Amino acid sequence: MIAYVLEDGKVRKKIMKKPEIHEGEILVKMKASGLCGTDMEKICGQYTATTYLGHEVSGIVVESNSKDFKEGDRVFPHVHTPCYECYYCRKHSETMCPMYRSTNIYPGGFAEYFAVPEWNVRKGGVIKLPKCVSFEEGALIEPLSTVIRGLDKLHLEDDDTIFIAGSGSIGLLHLLTLKAKGLSVIVSNPPNYKLEYAKRLGADHIVSTDQNVPEKIKEYTNGRGADVAIVASASHNAIISAIESVRNGGTILLFAVPPRGMRLDYDLSKLFNREISIILTNSADDKDTRKALELIRRRKIRVSSIITHKFKLNEFDTMINEHKTNRSVIKAMIIN
């Protein structure tokens, strides 16, 4: 089989045997695998966590050593699964669980076949997809679940105005989720296709980053600023823009993973005097993935609307190049 993996910091195309599965494991034929911004950071050597490629993935079970799954089951596997028993899990910090990143699908999501570890299967990290959910939608359960986890930390109110800094795929998933809640949303991005796409998907206002973003946000909010700012871009400028765009007493959600070594130079007294709260969020757990699946199944959020480019597995290198050079790429996905 073909698999694209990271070795010594470089992407390599491997021709290898299908993984052999052990007790409690399942073997899945990949049907759809999305390219995430963190995958690109790993490829470019900027990511600080795991080195496996491909975690937005869905497929069909072709071999099973688990009583809970059989051949032919359509599934979404979450690559990380907490124990739900340790101190961190009991304190609702499931993604900080020591077991959370201890396992992963092998050899990753950009492979013809991958094995799902017994731990993930036993702990509820694999979900059966209903027939009404496509493989493409199933692969997007993962990024949507991370959005859900982050938004759950904010305790949003019905009259809140939300500012999203960045209209890439994750910014647009935030937009779709917030609009499904009936909230007012302002999106900023450099002046390109992605910004116009945000308007098409329902943004109440869009602001180009070549304008004075904080001033435009205040203009749309009676001079106050946004109640919440979500940083959906791994950009230093996006964080500063978010800080300057929220109202006094507002909240900032740092969502996008910053590149390795990034530093923020900002006068902390301003945060204190304006009582700005900063919240961080990291990944999602299996409860979040089930919430995401339900929203997709009920057509509350049409996640497939963010997919702009599709490739075959043997076009992986082309996909990476397109993502680097073509500004119209929002969500690229391998369809197998």
170 CB-side CA count, 13 A: 26
Whether the pLDDT of residue 205 is over 60: the answer is yes
What are the DSSP calls for 126-177, one per residue? EEEPPTTS-HHHHHTHHHHHHHHHHHHTT---TT-EEEEE--SHHHHHHHHH
The distance of Cα 12 from the centroid of its chain, to the nearest Å, equals 24
Q: 2-146+283-335 architecture in CATH?
A: Alpha-Beta Complex (3.90)
Q: 154-280 architecture in CATH?
A: 3-Layer(aba) Sandwich (3.40)
Q: What are the tens digits of pLDDT across the range 117-162?
A: 999 999 999 999 999 999 999 999 999 999 999 999 999 999 999 9
Omega before residue 98 within 30° of 0, cis = no
Joined together, the tokens standing for residue 52 give: 């496996």
pLDDT of residue 48: 54
pLDDT of residue 135: 98
Whether the pLDDT of residue 45 is over 80: the answer is no
Domain boundaries, given as residue ranges, for the chain: 2-146+283-335, 154-280
Ramachandran angles phi, psi of 292, nearest 5°: -65, -45
Whether the pLDDT of residue 73 is over 80: the answer is yes
CB-CB contact of 167 with 200 (8 Å): no
Whether the pLDDT of residue 49 is over 60: the answer is no
State mean pLDDT over 171-186.
98
State mean pLDDT over 172-190.
97
Q: Which of 320, 334, 235, 261 lies closest to 10, judged by CA?
A: 320
CB-CB contact of 242 with 270 (8 Å): no
Per DSSP, the three-state class of 296 is helix
SS3 content of the chain, % helix, strand, coil (to 5): 35, 25, 40
CB-CB contact of 139 with 333 (8 Å): yes
Torsion sign (Cα): 215, 220, 223, 226: negative
What are the DSSP calls for 246-277, one per residue? EEEEEEEEE-SPPPTT------HHHHHHHT-E
State mean pLDDT over 224-230.
98
CB-CB contact of 126 with 116 (8 Å): yes
Angle at CA 149, nearest 5°, toward 146 and 153? 140
pLDDT of residue 50: 63
